Amino acid sequence: MTPFDRITAVAAPLTLANVDTDQIVPKQFLATTGRSGLARALFHDMRFDADGQPRPDFVLNQPAYAGTGILIAGANFGCGSSREHAPWALADFGIRCVIAPSFADIFHINCFNNGMLPVTLEAAAVEALAAQALGGNHVFTVDLEACTVTAPDGTVHGFAIDPARREKLLRGLDDIGTTLAVAGAIDQWEARDRLMRPWLARA
C-alpha cells in the first residue's frame, strides 16, 4: 500500500449529503475483484448520461477539476452497502483524500485499509473549503504529519485522527502489512510456545 504523508492537489466539491456506495460505484461494476480499471465506474450515473456521454455540469467532468486528488464531500459520505469497490474507484481515479463532515463507518474503515485518508471536519469548515474549491484556485494541501488541511487562501484547518490509523497510513500498512511488520516477534513466540507445549505442535 502506498504511504500517505502529504498531498497537494486539485480539490473538487461534491457536497451532496448521503452519497451512498451505489452512487460511488453502481452495482453493475461489482463483478471485478481487481482494484484497477474502476475509475470509469466512479460516480458513473452522475458523470455520464444514458448514452454514456459525460455530463458537462458534473464537477469531475469540468476542465478546472482535471487531476482531482481531493474530494470535498457532504455529510454521511459512503453510506449504504459495505462494498470496498467504492474506495478502489476513488483511488483509481486519483483521489487519495476525502474531506467531509461525517462518513459511514464501514466506508471510513475501508478508506484506511486502502491507503486513502478520510478527513472529518465541522460542517461549516467543509462548506468554507467547498466555497474556495469553486473559486479560481482549486489547489489544497492535506498534511497527515501535521493533521492539517490548507485552503488556497492559506486558511489552515486542523483535524483529529486515530493515532494507530494515522501511523499505518504514514507507513503504508494495511492490516496484513501491520501483521507482517511484527512477523519476527510472532515467529519467536511460536518457537517458545512449541517448546513449552510440544503436544500442540503440528507434525
User: What local confidence, expressed as pLDDT, does residue 37 receive?
Assistant: 87
User: What local confidence, expressed as pLDDT, does residue 115 receive?
Assistant: 92
All three cell numbers of 121, joined, read 471536519
Strands 97-100, 139-143: pairing kind: unpaired
What burial letters (b/e) apply to 64-99, b meaning 16+ CB within 10 Å? Answer: ebeebbbbbbbbbbbbbbebbbbbbbbbbbebbbbb
The dihedrals phi and psi of 151, each to the nearest 5 degrees, come to: -80, 165
All three cell numbers of 21, joined, read 456506495
- CB-CB contact of 41 with 25 (8 Å): yes
pLDDT tens profile 55-82: 999 999 999 999 999 999 999 999 998 8
All three cell numbers of 163, joined, read 493515532
pTM for the predicted model, two decimal places: 0.87
d(Cα 111, Cα 87) in Å, to the nearest integer? 6
Partners of residue 100 on adjacent β-strands: 120
- CB-CB contact of 29 with 164 (8 Å): no
How many C-beta atoms surround the C-beta of residue 52 within 10 A?
9
pLDDT tens string, the chain, 203 residues long: the values are 889 999 999 999 999 999 999 999 999 888 877 778 899 999 999 999 999 999 999 999 999 999 999 999 999 999 998 889 999 999 999 999 999 999 999 999 999 999 999 999 999 999 999 999 998 889 999 999 999 999 999 999 999 999 999 999 999 877 666 666 666 777 777 767 777 787 776 65
CB-based burial of residue 202 (10 Å sphere; 0-12 exposed, 13-18 middle, 19+ buried)? exposed
